Structure formats: structure tokens, C-alpha cells
Amino acid sequence: MEDLHIRKDGRAGRITFTRETALNALSHAMALALEDALDAWRDDPQVALVVIDAQGPRAFCAGGDIAAVYHAGIAGDFAVGRDFWRDEYRMNAKIAEYPKPIVAFMQGFIMGGGVGVGGHASHPVVGDTSIVAMPESGIGLIPDVGGTWILGRAPGRLGEYLGITGARMGPGDAIHAGFARHYLPEAEWPAAIAALVETGDPARLPERPAPASPMAAAAAEIDAAFSAPDLAGIIARLQATGSDLAQGALKAIGRNSALSMAATLHLVRSARAAPDIRAALTQEFRFTWRACEKGDFLEGVRAQIIDKDRNPKWKFADIEALDPGLLEEMLAPLPPEAAIWEEE
């Protein structure tokens, strides 16, 4: 398809994002094409592994293409978003569970939907330009695409910090947090890909020492603040700390949707006990299914992506006034017709 270059090359199945002018944003059609390619190569003896990369220096994939979801939602059609997320989540799970190695080379911005593709690969690779984040609370959503699954497995309370604030990670932080497993200078990527294509052997991926992780160095402070039982407690601990990290976190919390942050806190902590990524995705879908109709998502997209005034008028802006019943409603089980998985 136009936005993806999908082909077989030597011993590898190759998928390259080619939507450079849109920061390789993932559309519904792209998610379906990715899934179709993975299905086709699963039992193909020619394909020993899959390599996913992207054109352009600015982004591997900066997120999902949610403009169509916004416009449909404003018109009262919530099925467009629900169908996109269901199909995207099914693709995310297939990447995480794929029986063959998947090597993802992720430069530039890797956010949201980009994490859902590259972050679940068996061999996610970052370089010096890589910037990883799950900033969905800033658009009235939650860290989805299996993001809560990764966040729930980050060291200490780093998952809560990253999910609630949307803080950006460089390559060292991304590896420390579990969003990547390999660091390789980007100048070495073409040779590494050529070796993978020729041999089909993921062991040919060079190992280089990862850069330092500032978030690892701040672990004690992050854990102390973000282990509080709720958002109000987290804010109180950050205010008492007063450090640069705390001030940055408070600034992010002050501009995000209270409903989204409360749901994120619950989902990240629930994901720690989830048996697999499908369980985490199922819980995420409960929120995103209702996000256009009942949450802050449409206003968040308007402010950040459509009008770009960066001034959302949240329905749920006051953390202290947030109704616990609303959170329960947003995260309640869905009806059978909303199931993601075919076996359900």
C-alpha cells in the first residue's frame, strides 16, 4: 500500500513506513496491512524473521492517525474509532506473540501507535535520535496499543510516572523502561539490516552499550511520589518534593485530562497482574471504546491536532472533583459485540 512498503527480501519479511510527511502516523488501513503481512509470513518458510523500519529521520511512527476518528466522533459516529482501535489492538497482540523474530529499528519520534508496533517486537532497536513517549493523557485518552502492558513492567513506579505525565524517553531511558531492548548507532543500521536480510538470524544484530538513563538515576524520587494510592496523593508528594523532576511532572499533570490520568493509573497497576498482553489490551479497549462518547478525547484531539491551540477545555479537569463512579463506568466490561478477539 502507499503508506507502507511491504515485501520479502532475502530471508526477511520487510515492512517500511513510507508516510514521512505525516511522521509515519499509523492509519486504520496501515494497521490492517501490517496484520495481513504478519499473517502471510507466519508459516512462510522463506521468511525467517521480520524487519520493520521507517523512512525519514524525524519519526519511526509518531502515533495513530486519529483525525478521521475525531471527525466521525464530532458527527456522532463512534464506530470509526472503535473499529480502528479494535483492529489495531489485534495487530499489536500479533506482534507481541509472533512466533518468528521481529526486529524494529525505531528512530526519531516513537509515540502511541508507534510503540504499539515497535515496542512489542522481540528485538526493538533505538538509536541516538529516538524519543519514546506515551502522551495520551494529554489528548484525553490512555496509554493504549498495549502501552499499559509495557508500563506495568517498567521498574518500580516508572510506569505510573510515564503514563500519567507522558514524559519523553531518550534511548537509555527507553531501554531502562522496557520500551526497547537494543541500542545501536543509526549509522550502523543499514549494515545490520543487510545482515539480517541475508542470514535471517537475529543474533547478527550487533550489541552496543546503552546510553545512561536519567530516569534510572531518579528512580528513588519517582518511586516515592508515584507509589501514592491516587492522583491526589501523587500530586501532594510531588509538591512536597519541589525538585525539577517534580515541577515538570506537576506541569504535565496540570495540563492533562484528570479522567485520563485516573484511568491510566488504574490500568497501569492492573496490567501488573495481567496474565498477558491480550488481557491488558482488553482493559484498554474498555476506555477507548467509550472515549469519544463519554470522555475528553474529542476535545483533546481538537486542541492538540485539529485547531492546535494547545488549550483543551476538559470536561474532567478537576482531579479532586472527579467522580469515582465515572471511572468505574469507563473501565467496566464491554458487551459481547465489542470483543477484540475472535475466540471470544
Q: Looking at the annotation, which residues are catalytic?
A: 64, 113, 136, 144
What torsion do the CA atoms of 142, 145, 150, 156 make, to the nearest 10 degrees? 0
Q: Residue 343 has which C-alpha cell?
A: 475466540
How many Å apart are CA 28 and CA 156, to the nearest integer?
A: 34
CB distance 196 to 12 below 8 Å:
yes
Q: Residue 19 has which C-alpha cell?
A: 508516510
How many Å apart are CA 189 and CA 103, to the nearest integer?
A: 11
Amino acid letter, residue 216:
A
Q: Residue 250 has which C-alpha cell?
A: 506537576
**79 burial via Cβ count (<10 Å: 0-12, 13-18, 19+):** exposed
CB distance 312 to 303 below 8 Å:
yes
CB distance 27 to 65 below 8 Å:
yes
Which residues in 208-240 are b (16+ Cβ under 10 Å) and which e?
A: eebbebebbebbebbeebbebeebeebbebbee
Secondary structure element (H or E) that encloses residue 52, with its range: strand 49-54
Half-sphere exposure of 64 (CA within 13 A, CB side): 30
- The residue written with cell numbers 523502561 in the block is 177
User: What residues contact 43, with CB distance under 8 A and at least 6 apart?
Assistant: none
